[in-house]
Amino acid sequence: MGFFSYLWKKMKPRTGNFGVKPSEPSYSGGDGSGPDQAIVVHASSHVSGVLAEYEYISSIHGERGKDWNLVSQQLDMRKKTPIDILHVQTNSGEKITYYFDISNFFGKN
C-alpha cells in the first residue's frame, strides 16, 4: 500500500463543495472501463477534478464510505495523457476499476 493510499484510508469522506462552482464538473469520453475508454473530466483545478472523479463514481454506486470504498488510486501516463486509475470496491464486494483522463486539470491549482 502506498503512502497516499494509507493516508486516504485514514481520512473520512468529506462533504461540501470546496469552492467548486455548481456548473462544474462536466464529463465526456468513454465509460471509464479502460484507458482507451477513459472518462474525460473537465474541471478548472486539480481539487475540483479529483472531487469530480469521486462524484462520478458516487453517481453510479452511491455514497462513498457507505456504498463503495476507494481501494487504491494511481497515476499513469498513456501516450502523454495523464490517466487517473481508481480501484474501488462496492459494499457487495464487487471490485471495479475506473480510468479518468485528467489532462484538462492535471497540474492546475
Each residue's pLDDT tens digit, 48-58: 899 999 999 99
Instruction: Pick 55 or 4 by higher pLDDT.
Output: 55
In a domain, 6, yes or no: no
Instruction: Pick 75 or 15 by higher pLDDT.
Output: 75
In a domain, 107, yes or no: no
2 with 72: CB under 8 angstroms?
Answer: yes
In a domain, 70, yes or no: yes
In a domain, 18, yes or no: no
What percent of the chain lies above the pLDDT cut of 90? 61
In a domain, 86, yes or no: yes
Tell whether the model's pLDDT for residue 102 goes beyond 70: yes
Each residue's pLDDT tens digit, 8-36: 454 445 444 444 444 567 899 999 999 99
3-state secondary structure string across the chain: CCHHHHHHHHCCCCCCCCCCCCCCCEEEECCCCCHHHCEEEECCCHHHHHHHHHHHHHHHHCCECCCEEEEEEEEEEECCEEEEEEEEEECCCCEEEEEEECCCCCCCC
C-alpha cell at 12: 473520512
In a domain, 5, yes or no: no
In a domain, 96, yes or no: yes
User: How far is Cα of residue 76 from the mean position of the Cα atoms in its chain?
Assistant: 13
Segments forming the whole domain that contains residue 73: 26-101
In a domain, 76, yes or no: yes
Alpha-carbon span 105 to 58, nearest angstrom: 20
Is 0.85 topped by the overall pTM? no
User: Mean pLDDT across the chain, nearest whole number?
Assistant: 83
C-alpha cell at 28: 465526456
Alpha-carbon span 32 to 101, nearest angstrom: 9
Write out the H or E segment, with its range, that includes residue 95.
strand 95-101
